[in-house]
Amino acid sequence: MVSETGPRLRAQLDGIPTYKPGRPAPTGATAYKLSSNENPYPPLPGVMEQVAASAERLHRYPDLACTELTAELAGRLGVPAAHVATGTGSVGVAQQLVQATSGPGDEVLYAWRSFEAYPIVVQIPGAASVQVPLTPGEGHDLDAMAAAITDRTRLIFVCNPNNPTGTVVRRAELERFLDKVPSDVLVVLDEAYREFNRDAEVPDGVEIYRDRPNVAVLRTFSKAYGLAGLRVGFAIAHEPVADALRKTAVPFGVSQIAQDAAVASLRSEEQLLLRVDALVKERDRVVGGLRGQGWTVPETHANFVWLRLGERTLDFAARCERAGVVVRPFAGEGVRVTVGESEANDLFLRAAEEFRTVL
Ligand SMILES: Cc1ncc(COP(=O)(O)O)c(C=O)c1O
């Protein structure tokens, strides 16, 4: 007999927000995608050659342990290889971190608005999100976050720089916050945009984690390293946490092409970071241009800018799209705009200026 109810799915899945990717640029028109915080530069030639060479072994499973990549990262960061855990993008590793620490009845704390995957990865294992509003300056309210810790808190994300606002948490305030967090609560410093930071007071999470067993650092090859399409990210964490990440990983999740391209990118790091410098200059030009037009733009240390537009958010995004740039609107809140090619940034600045004249 055919059942009429269908398979029983976990109730925790009800109400999980769907991840909305940045919209692609429409085909056929001159349009730029400034909606996903991607790197506008294509992979470096050496990386492309490595990808082609690795593709010859597509009939083989990848190295489950990501041995070469792990060794390369451990050497560069000065950490034991056992503290490096790789995964399918840093969002994959973020999901594993939640699975390893939190389930029904547990709470995961983070600022809001922040990276939109956090509510999703928290809810999948049945944990509850506790979202602490950003300050009026669009940054983390660490005092309020410390006050929101309860006996149920198992994990805290600190997104530094914060997506989508670009704001940063500085060393002294972070240390003060970490001193207040119970030692059995894991704090994850999500540093997806770290390479774009130019403020010396913003700490390197890897330095912070060294003498704090309850701190893990999350990094990615998707942004500065320009490998978003290959899905590879990693965490640096003390052994119990790193071991738990190896247990929760999808076996063979990181393809050999991704592993090899990541190693090749690390070995071309100097050239890659010159591109990051160029993007930082472009970012500063965009921020200067917007402020010159009269916009309030929070200080950003990432590869994007944030405009709080409230009810005008969707109108603004539509105007940008008509001008040839696809941005990322968060309805009722604001727009995040990735720093892209100079021509794209020019189009965006022009659209922003026109929008102000019709306000
Ligand atoms: C703050 C933050 N963390 C993590 C990620 C995930 O990146 P990936 O899974 O490509 O490494 C993103 C991507 O947008 C992000 O903004």
Q: How far apart are CA 340 and CA 38, in angstroms?
A: 8
More confident residue, 359 or 169: 169
- The 10s digit of each residue's pLDDT in 77-128 is 999 999 999 999 999 999 999 999 999 999 999 999 999 999 999 999 999 9
Gyration radius of the chain over CA positions: 21
pTM here is: 0.96
Q: What is the pLDDT of residue 20?
A: 83
- Across the range 296-309, mean pLDDT stands at 97
Q: How far apart are CA 120 and CA 129, in angstroms?
A: 9
CA of 241 to the centre of ligand 1 (A): 20
CA 99 to mean position of chain CA atoms: 18
Q: What is the pLDDT of residue 129?
A: 97
Nearest-atom number in ligand 1 for the CA of 162 is 1
Query: Which of 163, 194, 221, 227 has most ligand 1 atoms within 8 Å of its beta carbon, as the pocket-test mutant?
Result: 163
The answer to whether residues 332 and 316 touch, using CB atoms and an 8 Å cutoff, is no
- Across the range 168-179, mean pLDDT stands at 98
Q: Is the pLDDT of residue 226 over 70?
A: yes
Beta strands per DSSP E along 18-139? 32-33, 84-87, 107-112, 128-133
CA of 260 to the centre of ligand 1 (A): 20
Q: How far is CA 280 from CA 164, 276, 295, in A?
A: 16, 6, 19
Residue linked to tokens 């805290």: 156
CA of 115 to the centre of ligand 1 (A): 7
Beta strands per DSSP E along the chain? 32-33, 84-87, 107-112, 128-133, 153-159, 186-190, 215-220, 233-236, 304-308, 325-326, 328-330, 334-338
Q: Is the pLDDT of residue 296 over 80?
A: yes
Q: Which of 86, 113, 78, 115 is nearest to 189 (CA)?
A: 115
Q: How far apart are CA 17 and CA 306, in angstroms?
A: 22
Q: What is the pLDDT of residue 17?
A: 84
Residues paired with residue 155 on neighbouring β-strands, in sequence order: 108, 186
- Across the range 65-80, mean pLDDT stands at 98
Q: What is the pLDDT of residue 359?
A: 65
- The 10s digit of each residue's pLDDT in 14-67 is 888 888 888 877 766 668 999 999 999 998 889 999 999 999 999 999 999 999
Q: Which helix (H) or strand (E) holds 258?
A: helix 256-267
Query: Would you tell me the crossing angle of helices 269-293 and 342-357 to the nearest 10 degrees?
Result: 20
CB atoms within 10 A of CB 178: 18
CA of 271 to the centre of ligand 1 (A): 22
Nearest-atom number in ligand 1 for the CA of 36 is 14
Identify whether 113 is preceded by a cis peptide bond (ω within 30 of 0). yes
Nearest-atom number in ligand 1 for the CA of 222 is 10
Q: How far apart are CA 158 and CA 186, in angstroms?
A: 11
Q: Which residues line ligand 1 (CB under 6 A)?
A: 37, 89-91, 115, 159, 163, 190, 192, 220, 222, 228, 233
User: Which of 176-180, 270-274, 342-346 is predicted with the least confidence, judged by mean pLDDT?
Assistant: 270-274
- The 10s digit of each residue's pLDDT in 309-351 is 999 999 999 999 999 999 999 999 999 999 999 999 999 999 9
Query: Which of 115, 301, 303 has most ligand 1 atoms within 8 Å of its beta carbon, as the pocket-test mutant?
Result: 115
Q: How far apart are CA 295 and CA 46, in angstroms?
A: 41
Residue linked to tokens 């892209």: 340
Helix (H, G, I), strand (E, B) or coil at 148: coil
Q: What is the pLDDT of residue 23?
A: 80
Q: What is the pLDDT of residue 44?
A: 87
Q: Which of 243, 207, 223 is nearest to 65 (CA)?
A: 243
Q: What is the pLDDT of residue 30?
A: 65
Q: What is the pLDDT of residue 65?
A: 97
